[in-house]
């Protein structure tokens, strides 16, 4: 079984995101280690980009700080390699946009994903209909393309779910708009999950806006996993190079509520 699917084997999966290179690559390696040791089952590493259209102010700020620190795509691959050497069994996924992958070169990008121990990729600005642009190259390198499902028609939800990569998971977007912490999530996620379940048995995780243990527990009752990004990135912003312990305690508290 691949590492992504294994992340969902032992109860509900906690999926944590951080922007690689914020505040620097060395700290990112430490922070990811803290996340895994606190119970993170799968880690999403954001490749910093100057125009992250799906991100809210918190992750936009992290991207800008990482870029100002000189972080490159090759640095993210090096980071992933170091994490993989320490944590052989933890699933690693990169989140990026299509432009950086295109500019880097599709073949080169996915070959380096494989060499670095990366298991999957999330591309928020790639429409479902254009997924074929990278799917074959990704598959050739054993990289799962993670499909995202936003609140939309049941027909479209089913179409995306039915076509999802069986080696990955489905990313269920909890709210329309950009990423960011939300005090309340009003989307009818139960109906979305019902449509997903009728179309596939691939694991599904809910993300966008989740930031409290209570929200994590609620989402875990609906889906196979919970995705948290902005709240972790906010700790990196708040504590800078000393954020490791705060990230550890936060992830631990979230994971505990999901059990």
Say which residues have a Cβ less than 8 Å from residue 221's Cβ, sequence separation at least 6: none
Token pair for 205: 């995780």
Is residue 201 in some structural domain?
Answer: no
The yes-or-no verdict on residue 92 having pLDDT over 60 is: yes
Domain presence at residue 27: yes
Query: What is the number of domains present in the chain?
Result: 1
123: how many CB neighbours lie within 10 A of its CB?
24
Report residue 97: phi and psi, to 5°: -115, 160
Rounded to two decimals, the pTM is 0.93
Give the CATH number of the domain where residue 40 resides: 3.20.20.70
pLDDT surpasses 50 at 7: yes
What pLDDT, in 10s, does the model give residues 159-190?
999 999 999 999 999 864 444 443 344 468 88
- For the CA atoms of the chain, what is the radius of gyration? 17
**Is 173 inside any structural domain?**
no
Taking the C-alpha atoms of residue 151 and residue 236, their distance in angstroms, rounded to an integer, is: 30
Structure tokens at 69: 């620190």
38: in domain: yes
- Side-chain-facing half-sphere of 156: CA atoms under 13 Å: 11
Is residue 191 in a domain?
no
pLDDT band at 152 (very low <50, low <70, confident <90, very high): confident
Q: What domain range is 42 assigned to? A: 3-145+206-258
Burial of residue 238 (number of CB atoms within 10 Å: 0-12, 13-18, 19+): exposed
Residue 253 inside a domain? The answer is yes
Rounded to whole angstroms, the Cα distance separating 61 from 54 reads 13
Q: Would the pLDDT of 158 be above 90?
A: yes
* Cβ-contact 15, 40 below 8 angstroms: yes
Would residue 46 be called left, alpha or beta, if left means φ above 0 and alpha means ψ between -120 and 50 degrees? Answer: beta
Nearest to 92 by CA among 48, 35, 130, 135: 35
Give me the torsion for CA of 48, 117, 207, 16, rounded to 10°. -80
> Mapping DSSP to helix (H, G, I), strand (E, B) and coil, where does residue 212 land?
coil
Q: Model confidence over 193-221: pLDDT tens digits?
A: 999 999 999 999 999 889 899 999 999 99
- pLDDT of 52 reads 78
pLDDT at 11: 87
Q: Can you give the pLDDT at residue 182? A: 38
**Assigned domain for 12 exists:** yes
Query: In the chain, which ranges are continuous DSSP H helix?
Result: 3-6, 25-37, 57-68, 73-86, 98-104, 106-116, 132-140, 154-162, 189-199, 213-222, 230-239, 244-258
The token duo for 1 is 């079984």
**Residue 60 banded pLDDT, cuts 50, 70, 90:** very high
164 within a domain of the structure (yes/no): no
**In the block, which residue shows the tokens 């102010």?**
57
**Mean pLDDT, all residues of the chain:** 92
Find out whether 247 and 215 touch, Cβ atoms under 8 Å.
Answer: no
DSSP state letter for 53: T
């Amino acid at each position: 079984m691949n590492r992504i699917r294994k992340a969902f084997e032992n109860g509900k999966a906690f999926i944590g995101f951080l922007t690689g290179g914020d505040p620097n690559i060395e700290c990112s390696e430490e922070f990811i280690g803290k996340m895994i040791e606190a119970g993170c089952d799968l880690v999403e590493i954001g490749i910093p980009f100057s125009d992250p259209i799906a991100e809210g102010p918190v992750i936009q700020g992290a991207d800008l700080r990482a870029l100002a620190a000189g972080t490159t795509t090759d640095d993210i691959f090096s980071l992933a390699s170091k994490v993989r050497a320490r944590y052989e069994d933890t699933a690693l996924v990169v989140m990026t946009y299509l432009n950086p992958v295109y500019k880097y070169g599709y073949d080169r990008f996915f070959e380096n994903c494989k060499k670095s121990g990366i298991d999957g990729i999330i591309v928020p600005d790639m429409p479902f209909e254009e997924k074929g642009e990278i799917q074959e190259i990704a598959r050739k390198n054993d990289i799962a393309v993670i499909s995202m499902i936003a609140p939309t028609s049941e027909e479209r939800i089913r179409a995306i779910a039915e076509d999802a990569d069986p080696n990955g998971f489905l990313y269920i977007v909890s709210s329309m708009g950009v990423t960011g912490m939300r005090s309340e999530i009003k989307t009818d996620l139960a109906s979305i999950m019902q449509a997903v379940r009728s179309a596939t048995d691939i694991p599904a995780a809910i993300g966008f806006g989740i930031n409290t243990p209570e929200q994590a527990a609620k989402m875990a009752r609906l889906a196979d996993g919970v995705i948290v990004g902005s709240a972790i990135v906010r700790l990196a912003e708040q504590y800078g190079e000393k954020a490791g312990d705060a990230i550890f305690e936060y992830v631990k508290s979230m994971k505990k509520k999901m059990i």
